[in-house]
């Protein structure tokens, strides 16, 4: 009898479990695992927080002796290296698992091809690539971070169907409805950091926190070349950890720097590029700090800055069924743009989702 249909069914269950760890397991991937014996789930788990046992260990512990001779489904290839926790491959072998099914191969240069191959060498039946694309999508933050050394960058924009993010007077509350705004807060909870430009920070005075019950606040990042952010800005709220990072040029004004630091901000001087902060240097620094995902929330110039430097991995566009019009109404992306249509930044693998009356389009930037 073919394993194909039950394999996909149990891997979907593992994926649902994995999503419970999104935003909390970083810098580790949010992995889900399910132990199945004679067609019945006897144990399951997910990676809840870095430094704690991985999904496989939780699932095996829940299964206990029923793990012997069972099949383990896991969304990512089991690790075979010693990190903050022991390798999962050893736990799998000691538990007596007979078959391992995993979705995506671990691209970490330290472990690539290791876990699955080692288990197969120990006599276990190993099946790789079940719902591979879905599993890779769920682990995309981790994949980008371990392969490129920077966060996975999501460009988020809310616009009307004619591409306007506000009216000609700058009024923008609200472009989208409640369901879409609630999903944005979910994105904030999933991402390690959130970023806006100084124009958005001054115009909107946003908090950039997650307002969902039980949600997690991201690190707030403001790109502010000349340190124009006032120390009274709501984004600096010291009662909303993990805090605010203000990325500026290499020689920030000393008085403004002291004022922002006194208000609780970390001021990060960076090289200049293209007339502003070197965004590639910012992304690299965030990657060194273990930030695996960065949500860009505004504005149009910052969006083009990241896009034009090849730093955007994914777009999340929320479209509202409204028309604003007006040549002076701001658009989704600023900057110079491209001169020819064949120079356009291409997107691939689009996913559509309806949120109330609004539409969410998610797509990857084609490399």
Tell me whether residue 56 is one of the annotated catalytic residues: yes
Q: Which of 56, 77, 138, 297 is catalytic?
A: 56
Q: Phi/psi of residue 244, each to 5°?
A: -130, 135
**Alpha-carbon distance 180 to 14, whole Å?**
26
Query: What are the CB-based long-range contacts (under 8 Å, 24+) for 277-283?
Result: 277/223, 277/224, 277/225, 277/247, 277/248, 277/249, 279/223, 279/305, 279/306, 279/309, 279/311, 280/309, 280/311, 282/221, 282/223, 282/247, 283/150, 283/151, 283/153, 283/311
Degrees to nearest 5, angle at CA 234 with 230 and 240:
130
**Alpha-carbon distance 306 to 274, whole Å?**
11
Q: Residues with Cβ < 8 Å from 327, sequence gap 6 or more?
A: none
If we measure between CA atoms, which residue out of 313, 321, 350 comes closest to residue 179?
321
CB atoms within 10 A of CB 74: 30
E-only strand ranges, the chain: 32-37, 40-46, 71-76, 99-104, 125-128, 152-160, 193-197, 219-223, 244-248, 266-269, 272-273, 276-277, 293-298, 314-320, 347-355, 358-365
Are 61 and 88 in contact by the 8 Å Cβ rule? The answer is no
Active site positions, annotated: 56
């Amino acid at each position: 009898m073919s394993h194909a249909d039950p394999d996909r069914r149990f891997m979907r269950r593992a994926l649902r479990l994995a999503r419970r760890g999104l935003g909390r397991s970083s810098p580790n991937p949010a992995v889900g695992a399910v132990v199945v014996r004679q067609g019945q789930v006897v144990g399951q788990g997910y990676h809840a927080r870095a430094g704690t046992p991985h999904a496989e260990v939780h699932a095996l512990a829940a299964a206990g002796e029923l793990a012997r001779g069972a099949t383990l489904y896991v969304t990512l290839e089991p690790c075979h290296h010693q990190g903050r926790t022991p390798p999962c491959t050893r736990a799998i072998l000691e538990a007596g698992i007979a078959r391992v099914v995993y979705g995506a191969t671990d691209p970490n240069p330290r472990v690539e091809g290791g876990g699955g191959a080692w288990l197969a060498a120990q006599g276990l039946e190993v099946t790789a690539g079940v719902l591979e694309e879905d599993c890779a999508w769920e682990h995309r933050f981790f994949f980008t971070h371990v392969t490129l050394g920077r966060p996975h960058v999501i460009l988020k924009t809310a616009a009307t169907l004619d591409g306007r993010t506000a009216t000609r007077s700058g009024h923008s509350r609200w472009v989208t409805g409640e369901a879409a705004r609630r999903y944005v807060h979910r994105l904030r909870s999933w991402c390690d950091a959130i970023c806006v430009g100084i124009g958005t920070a001054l115009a909107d005075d946003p908090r950039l926190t997650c307002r969902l019950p039980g949600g997690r606040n991201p690190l707030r990042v403001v790109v502010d070349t000349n340190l124009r952010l006032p120390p009274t800005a709501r984004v600096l709220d010291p009662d909303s950890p993990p805090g605010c990072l203000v990325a500026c040029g290499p020689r920030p004004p000393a008085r403004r720097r002291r004022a922002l630091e006194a208000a609780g901000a970390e001021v990060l001087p960076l090289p200049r590029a293209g007339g502003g902060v070197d965004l590639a240097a910012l992304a690299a620094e965030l990657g060194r700090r273990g930030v695996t995902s960065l949500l860009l929330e505004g504005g149009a110039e910052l969006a083009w800055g990241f896009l034009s430097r090849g730093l955007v991995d994914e777009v999340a566009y929320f479209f509202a069924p409204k028309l604003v019009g007006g040549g002076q109404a701001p658009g989704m992306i600023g900057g110079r743009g491209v001169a020819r249509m064949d120079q356009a930044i291409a997107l691939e693998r689009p996913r559509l989702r309806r949120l109330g009356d609004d539409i969410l389009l998610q797509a990857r930037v084609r490399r």
